[in-house]
Chains A and B, each alone.
Chain A
Amino acid sequence: MSETNEKKVILDLADLTKKYDNGDGVEHINLKVYEGEIVTLLGPSGCGKSTILRTIGGFLDITDGDILIAGESIAALPPEKRPTAMVFQSYNLWPHMTIYENLAFGLKLRKTPADQMKNMITNMLELVSMGGSEKKYPGQLSGGQQQRIAIARSLLLRPKLLLLDEPFSALDAKIRQQMREELKKIQQDLGITVVFVTHDQEEAMALSHRIVVMNKGKIDQIGTPAEIYDDPKTLHVASFIGEMNFLKKEGKTLAVRPEDITVCEGAGQGDIDATVRTIMLLGHYVVLTVQHNEDVIKCNVTRDLSERLAIGDTVSLKLGKHSLFDAA
């Protein structure tokens, strides 16, 4: 993180609190986003990701704290005055306007000369691989294509900060992955700063420079994908990201990933003993579930080893990299 410290802070959420009338919301959110970064807000449904994004975009008033962009508070500005651009999960485009008109709407408000505008739009459509679709209407495009146009429209306005609220979650898995890769490439080419919201941990891992893991309106942990994966700070983070085994140990909970467990044949050779319950072949590796007291533990083993094991055998487990948490 030392290298990012020298970079310019684009977004600064300073003790941001947003409470809805019914008491739901987010509180004490502190987050700095640096220039050229993709930061992902990740968390289960209802944890307040959209709430944060919508306060940044100006669609929700904040209850407390401040929002700064490049050092200036924008908390009091309406959305149209903010240097941010937002892409929603769906219904971004105006169906009564052609793609060209959709893209030109914001540029016209900024009094962009017509010929320059035309160039910008043509180039931008190329960038999002939608060249030649100027005359179409949004209803004539697929969901993925519509999202590309929505992203293009945001990028055209050269926002200081691009806000994406689950932009790909309405698309099917294959297209989602493709869009993810394209977004990452565009972000690198243009060097824009992005705050991305998702509840898909895989998407967050693949896309982000840093991930903000949220739980029930609060931030649990902020870190690079590797930090979050290798060193989860809370039980919630540990359970939310990747696969994780939880063992009860002396009143505490021990969390260890399947790939960090070494399985040995016979008892007494590792940290704990267990009994084999199931053996499942998943291509080039095998997933073993074993029983230790009342805990069921998942471990990844080689095919070689799995062929020497049978259900009901006793094995011993060496627990590699793991974390300890106060009881769950």
Chain B
Amino acid sequence: MFKMLNPRRFYHAVGKRKFYEFLILAVFILFFYGPMLNMVILAFANKYEAPAIIPQEFGFKWWSYIFSQKSLVTSMIQSFVVAIVTTLVSMVFCIPAAYSIARFKYPGRKLFMLSFLLTNAFPKLGIFTSIAVLFYKYRLMGTYPGVVIIHMIHSMMFMVWLPSSAFRSVHRQQEEAARDVGAGPVRTFFKVTMPMAMPGIAVATLYTFLGSMEEAQGTMLVGMGRIQTMPVAMYGIILDSTAVQIGAVFAILLIIPSVIMIFIMRKYIGPEAIAGGFKMK
């Protein structure tokens, strides 16, 4: 049994490719789940001092501390409201834009596409400050619409590019066939084009929602303390206290919506679904 753990035996038993795949996987797990595991341990540590690896005392002390803070519960609700609104508004604006980029040729199409890249190419803080100037003018500082706009800018590129390439992978004949059997353009879009582009749209939506859930920089700036989403509240609490455990608990709280979303959309975001589940032979 233990003989098989000898790396050389293992190498020859599974073959060269599998062996390297295993190595890469092992390294990946270490890097990816290592910090996560550490975080989970910390979240349930009542007492922890730096150099140690295992906390000195386990318990739910920090969980009850956080939930006793009133501002936190409100911040959670605000986070969800902002994230849901951001996602919906993004969909309404970006999906038609994505479709137009994918299907129609018009002057300035390339530029239009690049403009979404620009929002991600410049340092965010620079964009936020220049936006703040505009927001003051239009009285959007400290308002929900202001925060939603900031969050939309954050994920716009993905919300346009991903669905756009998904729409492009829907063959024109498939849309034309729907028109041919009697569906109008709107029905064709919702019954044929959208469902076929769903993997791309789902991933983009997920990204927008989660991006909004964790956005802090812009929210702090534009929300002006009046709008406190979870990450913003987290900054406040962490700055106020010296316990690293609070950060860990918060991180876990922030993960929960991601896990739920990924679970809901698992049908669409499996590697198979994205890679070729909807391709035809």
State whether A80 and B183 are in contact (beta carbons under 8 Å apart), knowing that A91-B280, A95-B278 are contacts in the complex. yes
Beta-carbon contact of B174 and A91 below 8 Å:
yes
- 0/1 per residue, A90-112, Cβ < 8 Å to B? 11111110000000011001100
Complex Cα spacing A204 to B5, Å: 67
Beta-carbon contact of A143 and B281 below 8 Å:
yes
The main secondary structure of chain B at its interface with chain A is helix
- 0/1 per residue, A52-68, Cβ < 8 Å to B? 00000111000000000
Beta-carbon contact of A157 and B181 below 8 Å:
yes
Taking CB atoms, residues of chain B closer than 8 Å to A143 are: 281
Within 8 Å of chain A (Cβ to Cβ): is B177? yes
Contact residues, B149-185 vs A (CB, 8 A) = 171, 173-174, 176-184
Q: In this complex, what residue of B is CB-closest to A78? A: B179
Partner of A88, one of B173, B178, B198: B173
Taking CB atoms, residues of chain A closer than 8 Å to B271 are: none
CB distance from B192 to the nearest CB of A (A): 5
Beta-carbon contact of B280 and A139 below 8 Å:
yes
Complex Cα spacing A246 to B176, Å: 43
Q: In this complex, what residue of B is CB-closest to A57? A: B180
Question: How many interface residues does chain A have, given as a range?
Answer: 20 to 34
Beta-carbon contact of B171 and A91 below 8 Å:
yes
Beta-carbon contact of B184 and A96 below 8 Å:
no
Complex Cα spacing A142 to B280, Å: 10
Partner of B196, one of A80, A88, A96: A96
Beta-carbon contact of A94 and B181 below 8 Å:
no
Within 8 Å of chain B (Cβ to Cβ): is A258? no
Within 8 Å of chain A (Cβ to Cβ): is B96? no
Beta-carbon contact of A80 and B177 below 8 Å:
no
Q: In this complex, what residue of A is CB-closest to B281? A: A139
**CB contacts between A and B, total, < 8 Å:** 81
Complex Cα spacing A72 to B174, Å: 28
Partner of A138, one of B171, B173, B178, B280: B280
State whether A106 and B173 are in contact (beta carbons under 8 Å apart), knowing that A91-B280, A138-B280, A143-B281 are contacts in the complex. no
Beta-carbon contact of A105 and B183 below 8 Å:
yes
- 0/1 per residue, B250-281, Cβ < 8 Å to A? 00000000000000000000000000001111
Partner of B177, one of A78, A92, A110: A92
CB distance from A165 to the nearest CB of B (A): 9
Complex Cα spacing A86 to B279, Å: 22
Partner of A90, one of B173, B179, B195: B173
CB distance from A97 to the nearest CB of B (A): 8
> Which of A90, A96, A110, A141 has most B Cβ within 10 Å?
A96
Contact residues, A39-92 vs B (CB, 8 A) = 57-59, 78-80, 84-86, 88-92
Beta-carbon contact of B174 and A94 below 8 Å:
yes
Within 8 Å of chain B (Cβ to Cβ): is A275? no
Beta-carbon contact of A80 and B173 below 8 Å:
no
Q: In this complex, what residue of A is CB-closest to B177? A: A92
Beta-carbon contact of B196 and A95 below 8 Å:
yes
Beta-carbon contact of B278 and A109 below 8 Å:
no
Taking CB atoms, residues of chain A closer than 8 Å to B196 are: 94-96
Given contacts A78-B184, A105-B178, A105-B181, 11 further A-B contacts (CB under 8 A): A80-B182, A84-B180, A91-B280, A94-B195, A96-B198, A138-B280, A141-B281, A143-B281, A146-B280, A153-B181, A157-B182
**A residues in contact (CB < 8 Å) with B:** 57-59, 78-80, 84-86, 88-96, 105-106, 109-110, 138-139, 141-143, 146, 150, 153-154, 157
